[in-house]
Amino acid sequence: MFFQQLVNGITIGSTYALVAIGYSLVFGVLQLINFANGSLYMLGGYLTLVMYLSLHGNIGAALLISLVVTGFAGFLVDFVGLRKLRADNAPRMAGLISTLGISTVIDNAIQIWFGTETKAFPNFLDFGKFTIGKTVISWTQIIILTVSLLLMIVFSLIVYKTKAGKSMRAVAQNVNAARLMGIDVKLVISATFIVSAILACISGSLVGSYYQTIDTMMGFSVGMKTFAAAVLGGVGSLPGAMLGGLIVGVVETIGASYISSGYRDAIAFLILILVLLIKPSGILGKQKIEKM
């Protein structure tokens, strides 16, 4: 029972980690919470479903189109909602409200388009299951875990080892200095948004396939949970976001099975409040969070 929940928790946690990376990247570069990230996660899931149905089950092409469109949506979040605010030197709350507005627009557009009821999602990762002791592990879980880990490793390498990642970190440290060094700040910021949107899209599609259902509210709750995960791990730190995602997934799954499944979504928020109370900088956060 416990190991079964642990496996389930790690699986769902690894998908949270992908979305949490997106929060962390954007927060690192702009010191802004991108509320639209959760909506992009939902959008990605829906687009994959629509493309899958309209392409008669060609999952590769469906995923590719969904990735491109969601990535473009991520670019638009910044281009429409935030670029002008940065140019105007608007207060930071304006950016927050703007991303919230975009998130509302995406959520409700999908709701009007598809209706609010839960949709069936095809499991394109279904390759059977096997048992170890009493624990049932499906190949879907293995694939989700592998894909997530691979993506995490790839993004860590990009951010910490390549020139593109270096310029991203430079912008995160000091925008003006980065600009003086000849880094195209606009390009870096756009790239950050696109990357976080693509990660959210992959995560949304994987979760859709794992639960075999998809609904319009999943963006909101996952958005909040993954932000909690990013804070738990330490905002702005990539390994922190991954660790935070895994912890939130595991604690939530185990809590739901041992306490009450009705309070499943509340657990992540309780973790968030506790972290802010005890260690606001998070587990792996180097960046010290300023206290008043």
Question: Is residue 252 close enough to count as binding another protein by CB under 8 A?
Answer: no
Q: Alpha-carbon distance 201 to 207, whole Å? A: 10
Question: Is residue 257 close enough to count as binding another protein by CB under 8 A?
Answer: no
| For another protein, the closer CB: 89 or 176 | 89
Among the listed residues 6, 50, 100, 147, the single contact to another protein using CB under 8 A: 100
DSSP 247: H
Question: Is residue 173 close enough to count as binding another protein by CB under 8 A?
Answer: no
Question: Is residue 266 close enough to count as binding another protein by CB under 8 A?
Answer: yes
| For another protein, the closer CB: 103 or 203 | 103
Question: Is residue 270 close enough to count as binding another protein by CB under 8 A?
Answer: yes
Among the listed residues 6, 50, 59, 85, the single contact to another protein using CB under 8 A: 85
If we measure between CA atoms, which residue out of 189, 220, 201 comes closest to residue 40? Answer: 201
Q: Whole-number minimum distance, CB 219 to another protein, in Å? A: 12
- Residue 235 CB partners (closer than 8 Å, separation 6+): 23, 24, 27, 28, 282, 285, 287, 289
Residue 137, strand partner residues: 130
Among the listed residues 59, 96, 136, 137, the single contact to another protein using CB under 8 A: 96
Question: Is residue 107 close enough to count as binding another protein by CB under 8 A?
Answer: yes
Binding-residue total with another protein (CB under 8 A): 49
- Whether 79 and 186 have beta carbons less than 8 Å apart is answered as no
Question: Is residue 180 close enough to count as binding another protein by CB under 8 A?
Answer: no
Question: Is residue 81 close enough to count as binding another protein by CB under 8 A?
Answer: yes
Q: What are phi and psi of 131, to 5 degrees?
A: -120, 140
Question: Is residue 109 close enough to count as binding another protein by CB under 8 A?
Answer: yes
Footprint of another protein on residues 271-290 (CB under 8 A)?
272-273, 276-277, 280, 289-290
Question: Is residue 221 close enough to count as binding another protein by CB under 8 A?
Answer: yes
Stretch that binds another protein, among 135-143, 157-165, 237-245, 266-274 (CB under 8 A): 266-274
Footprint of another protein on residues 32-61 (CB under 8 A)?
33
- Whether 142 and 10 have beta carbons less than 8 Å apart is answered as no
If we measure between CA atoms, which residue out of 106, 113, 74 comes closest to residue 202? Answer: 74
Instruction: Say whether 83 sits in a helix, a strand or coil.
Output: helix
Q: Whole-number minimum distance, CB 242 to another protein, in Å? A: 19
Q: What are phi and psi of 281, to 5 degrees?
A: -80, -5
Tokens at 20, concatenated: 């949490």
Instruction: Say whether 28 sits in a helix, a strand or coil.
Output: helix
The maximal CA–CA distance of the chain, rounded, in angstroms, is: 61
**Count of alpha carbons within 13 angstroms of residue 247, beta-carbon side:** 22
Question: Is residue 219 close enough to count as binding another protein by CB under 8 A?
Answer: no
Among the listed residues 68, 224, 254, 283, the single contact to another protein using CB under 8 A: 224
- Residue 3 CB partners (closer than 8 Å, separation 6+): 133, 134, 135
Among the listed residues 53, 54, 55, 104, the single contact to another protein using CB under 8 A: 104
Q: What are phi and psi of 9, to 5 degrees?
A: -65, -40
Contact residues toward another protein (CB under 8 A) are 31, 33, 80-81, 84-85, 88, 90-98, 100-105, 107-109, 112, 220-221, 224, 227-228, 231, 260, 262-263, 265-266, 268-270, 272-273, 276-277, 280, 289-292
